Amino acid sequence: MIVGHPCFDIDPWSLVENELPLDMLPHAESLFALSNGHIGWRGTLDEGEPHGLPGSYLNGVYELRPLPYAEAGYGYPESGQTVINVTNGKIIRLLVDDEPFDVRYGTLVSHRRVLDLRAGVLRREVVWTSPAGRTVRVRSTRIVSLTQRAVAAVRYEVEPLDGPARLVLQSELVANEELPVHQGDPRAAATPVDALVSDLNKASDTRVTLVHTVRRSGLRVAAGMDHFTEVYDEQGQAQTDVLGSQIESEPDLGRFTTGGLLKPGQTLRLTKFVAHGWSASRSLPAVRDQVDAALAAAGFGGWDALAAEQRACLDDFWRGADVEIDGDEEIQQAVRFALFQLYQAAVRAESRAIPAKGLTGDGYDGHAFWDTESFVLQVLSYLDAPSVAHALRWRHSTLPAARERAEQLGLAGSAFPWRTIAGEECSAYWPAGTAAFHVNADVADAVIRYVRASGDAEFARKEGLELLVATARMWVSLGHTDQGGEFRIAGVTGPDEYSAISDDNVYTNLMAQQNLLAAVEFASRHPEEAAELGITDEETESWTAAAQAMHVPYDAELGVHPQSDAFTYHERWDFEATKAEDYPLLLRYPYFQLYRTQVVKQADLVLALHLRSDSFTAEEKQRDFDYYEPLTVRDSSLSACSQAVIAAETGCASLAYDYLGEAALMDIDDLERNTADGLHLASLAGSWIALVAGFGGMRHTAAGLSFAPRLPDGWNRLCFGLVLEGGLLRVDVRPDKVGYRFTGEGGLSLTHHGSEVRVEPGTPLILPAWQPSERAAPSQPPGRVPAHRVADSVRRDAEGDAAGGS
């Protein structure tokens, strides 16, 4: 059983819920969410109630809301963008002899849900006895198609078990559902009310189409559903003349009803296809026709074809992406769950953002942050390059808004927003919003990594170059050269949101340095395109000069890098006086107190140790890591994976394993108690990062690809894949050896524990493993020590010893 809750079983390729605790419904809805990057369906029950949050989303569909200020200020964003719950097509209500199927009434004999990570479907099986005493079995399977972007589907089957029953199914499309109101947590959403204004409702035969306009943003959304029904016996033979049906629609509701009198041994099957679409510019007929065409295409192929396409798509993904672990079954399940969720969040996003929660909930108002580029795209660059290209093209499409924002702030180039859906800044809070200019460097970092991993020369020549140039121009206008000739960047907020408006944040400066040098490199590589962007030799020389003169603060007395200038001179936070219930600190203390003390919300300097690994010596990394561990409270889910990476690199493998567990189980175990608002995609990405960059020791810099693998105590194997320039590299780490196998054109050069080697196609390269000695780990703030993990074999041995001793 998973430690977090006994209702979940461990399975290497599924997330299995074996009972239905009603208090966990909102949590489970996020875990069982299905998406394709365009459509998102939370894992609500088929019958719609009870629920925590209905949750049907279309990527890019939002409502505008005013951002009120007690006192206006120049440059403050005037309106925010909030994801909305669009028309819900998941609902299928069941009545058994006039009794509505509701798990809160009657007797729930059994209930089981399975998220199948290979088939890409959510299955449910229920045995329920109605208050009147009639027992039925219900089976459903839900798909959000990874191949047919606009399509989702449900197959719903019900059979009476203990006597004849009159069964009625009501399949619905519902708009403007009542939603819960979030209070007291800034990470939750501001819920729009009645955001959809009806434009059209139409019902005919077995199909309903609804079209709405979002009240303030003006976006047009459409949803349609179509149905296929049958009754079959125990031998699978179709029964005729059993069912009746009717269809109806109104502005916010479409309903298809079917049913009949069934005997034990007969099963009523309803196959429901749902299509979603939206546009900011196309006409009502065009959006309606798009949805109708998607329904027709899905119906022509049928359920079996849709399910087969889904499986084939995921088979292709898992061939390159799978991570195999021999040593911890719980982490094995969690990392596959994480990779599945990352893939389905991005695969059909197609030039739209990847929000921090994906399309699994309305947390953070559905906004995209730097989480996407620095964590999600860091993983997908090596597992699903096309989705990364789409995500970066979305950023590129928002350059006009970023340039306008930069001009408003008195800067050159572009200033990408801290949080957004459509490209405009939606953060009303300056210190942790606009001042976090590092998002520019994070976008540049994602461009550099994607081109390095994929070899996509066309993207590099066009969108990649323009993104690097626009961000580089911002840095030279934001920073300045001091009297000593050093380039400084003042008044910014780094990744740690408990420090704001700081000078020379090390992470920001080093990432800006990389950004500037990459802009020079790309411009020199593509001179014609550079000339079209107005780049001159004088400008590239200024970028090179700024990068070479970049100031990186260092406290010589302590022998560590301050997170930013003077950070190590601040008073330390009084951790001993801080109660466990006071975390996260942002909900209990004024930011003023946080900003003026040494307390770190999330990895900042430590993240720089990872992403700019080539800028630090091994000794500096160890001293810096040891200094920041006792200060880092991990009030952000972004932190654990970065701490895992550097803990592993600096010889604290056991601590790295603990942080891996925290990153991997963030949502399954609901560690921050807010998974109900949606999954933490960056933490899910962090489980792969902790494994591959931490225990795999992978770094991919301008110098090339390198590995320094090591295994946690008790593990027998870690195997992972990287898709590089169309080829696949599999890295197989054992306690005594490491194997590299490359399938692709030409060979692949890499570094193994500091030695340069070459892997030839189809010829495994086996090298000796190196297991460094474990050093004493630095301490963490009181009450913030990560949960200790041990390998399965170590745990079983300990349990055996305990049993023998008793």
Name residues whose C-beta falls within 8 Å of residue 792's C-beta, 6 or more positions apart in sequence.
Answer: 327, 328, 329, 714
Relative orientation angle of helices 329-346 and 385-397, to the nearest 10 degrees:
50
- Measured between alpha carbons, how far is 424 from 397 in angstroms, rounded to an integer? 12
- Residues 21 and 123 occupy one common structural domain: yes
Burial of 746 (0-12, 13-18, 19+ CB in 10 A): exposed
Q: If you count DSSP H runs as helices and E runs as strands, how many of each does the chain have, helices first?
A: 20, 34
Do the beta carbons of residue 151 and residue 141 sit within 8 Å?
A: no
Domain boundary, last residue among 301, 319, 337: 319
Q: Which residues pair with 551 in a beta bridge?
A: none
- Measured between alpha carbons, how far is 162 from 154 in angstroms, rounded to an integer? 26
Percentage of the chain modeled with pLDDT above 70: 97
81 marked among binding-site residues: no
We report the CATH number of the domain holding residue 484 as 1.50.10.10
- Residues 214 and 347 occupy one common structural domain: no
Domain boundary, last residue among 319, 335, 358: 319
- Measured between alpha carbons, how far is 306 from 272 in angstroms, rounded to an integer? 12
- Residues 148 and 273 occupy one common structural domain: yes
Q: How many other CB atoms are there within 10 angstroms of residue 543's CB atom?
A: 24
Q: How confident is the model at residue 1 (pLDDT cuts 50, 70, 90)?
A: very low
Total structural domains within the chain:
2
pLDDT over 90 (residue 239): no
From the list 330, 463, 497, 649, the catalytic residue is 497
- Measured between alpha carbons, how far is 305 from 764 in angstroms, rounded to an integer? 37
Radius of gyration of the chain (CA): 27
User: Is position 529 annotated as part of the catalytic site?
Assistant: no
- Measured between alpha carbons, how far is 722 from 494 in angstroms, rounded to an integer? 30
pLDDT tens-digit profile of 12-23?
999 999 999 999
- Residues 294 and 359 occupy one common structural domain: no
b/e for 323-357, b at 16 or more Cβ within 10 A? bebbbbebbbbbbbbbbbbbbbbbbbbbebbbbbb
Torsion angle defined by CA atoms of residues 472, 474, 476 and 477, in that order, rounded to the nearest 10 degrees: 160
Spell out where 640-716 has E strands. 699-701, 704-707
- Residues 289 and 338 occupy one common structural domain: no
- Residues 472 and 444 occupy one common structural domain: yes
- Residues 605 and 554 occupy one common structural domain: yes
Q: Is residue 786 situated within a structural domain?
A: no
- Measured between alpha carbons, how far is 637 from 355 in angstroms, rounded to an integer? 15
Q: How confident is the model at residue 3 (pLDDT cuts 50, 70, 90)?
A: very low
pLDDT tens-digit profile of 756-772?
999 999 899 999 998 88
Q: Is residue 738 situated within a structural domain?
A: no
Q: How many other CB atoms are there within 10 angstroms of residue 216's CB atom?
A: 17
pTM score of the predicted model? 0.97
Q: Is the four-CA dihedral 660, 664, 665, 666 of positive or negative sign?
A: positive
Burial of 548 (0-12, 13-18, 19+ CB in 10 A): exposed
Phi and psi at 795, nearest 5°, equal -65, -45
Nearest to 442 by CA among 491, 522, 510: 510
Percentage of the chain modeled with pLDDT above 90: 90
Name residues whose C-beta falls within 8 Å of residue 64's C-beta, 6 or more positions apart in sequence.
Answer: 79, 80, 81, 82, 216, 217
Domain boundary, last residue among 670, 698, 724: 724
b/e for 161-176, b at 16 or more Cβ within 10 A? eeeebebbbbbbbbbb
Phi and psi at 291, nearest 5°, equal -65, -45
Which residue, chain included where needed, has tokens 């949803």? 223
Q: Is residue 81 situated within a structural domain?
A: yes
- Residues 423 and 310 occupy one common structural domain: no
pLDDT tens-digit profile of 76-132?
898 999 999 999 999 999 999 999 999 999 999 999 999 999 999 999 999 999 999
- Residues 282 and 368 occupy one common structural domain: no
* Predicted pLDDT of residue 191: 67
* Predicted pLDDT of residue 683: 98
Name residues whose C-beta falls within 8 Å of residue 567's C-beta, 6 or more positions apart in sequence.
Answer: 499, 502, 553, 598
We report the CATH number of the domain holding residue 191 as 2.70.98.40
602 marked among binding-site residues: yes
Q: Is residue 376 situated within a structural domain?
A: yes
CA distances from 218 to 150, 196, 664, 787 (A): 20, 10, 39, 47
pLDDT tens-digit profile of 643-672?
999 999 999 999 999 999 999 999 999 999
Average pLDDT (359-376) is 97
Relative orientation angle of helices 465-478 and 438-454, to the nearest 10 degrees:
150
- Residues 379 and 232 occupy one common structural domain: no
Average pLDDT (671-679) is 96
371 marked among binding-site residues: yes
> For the chain, what is the largest distance between any 2 Cα atoms, rounded to a whole number of angstroms?
90
- Residues 252 and 369 occupy one common structural domain: no
Average pLDDT (183-212) is 85
Q: Is residue 766 situated within a structural domain?
A: no
Structural domain span for residue 475: 323-724
Q: Which residues pair with 275 in a beta bridge?
A: 151, 224
pLDDT over 90 (residue 5): no
pLDDT over 70 (residue 240): no
Q: Is residue 743 situated within a structural domain?
A: no
Name residues whose C-beta falls within 8 Å of residue 336's C-beta, 6 or more positions apart in sequence.
Answer: 12, 13, 117, 322, 323
- Measured between alpha carbons, how far is 98 from 206 in angstroms, rounded to an integer? 23
* Predicted pLDDT of residue 745: 87
Q: Is residue 779 situated within a structural domain?
A: no
Question: Helix, strand, coil shares of the chain as percentages rounded to 5?
Answer: 35, 25, 40
pLDDT over 90 (residue 795): no
Q: How confident is the model at residue 335 (pLDDT cuts 50, 70, 90)?
A: very high
- Measured between alpha carbons, how far is 496 from 494 in angstroms, rounded to an integer? 5
* Predicted pLDDT of residue 647: 98
Q: Is residue 89 situated within a structural domain?
A: yes
601 marked among binding-site residues: yes
- Residues 580 and 466 occupy one common structural domain: yes
Q: Is 104 helix (H, G, I), strand (E, B) or coil?
A: coil
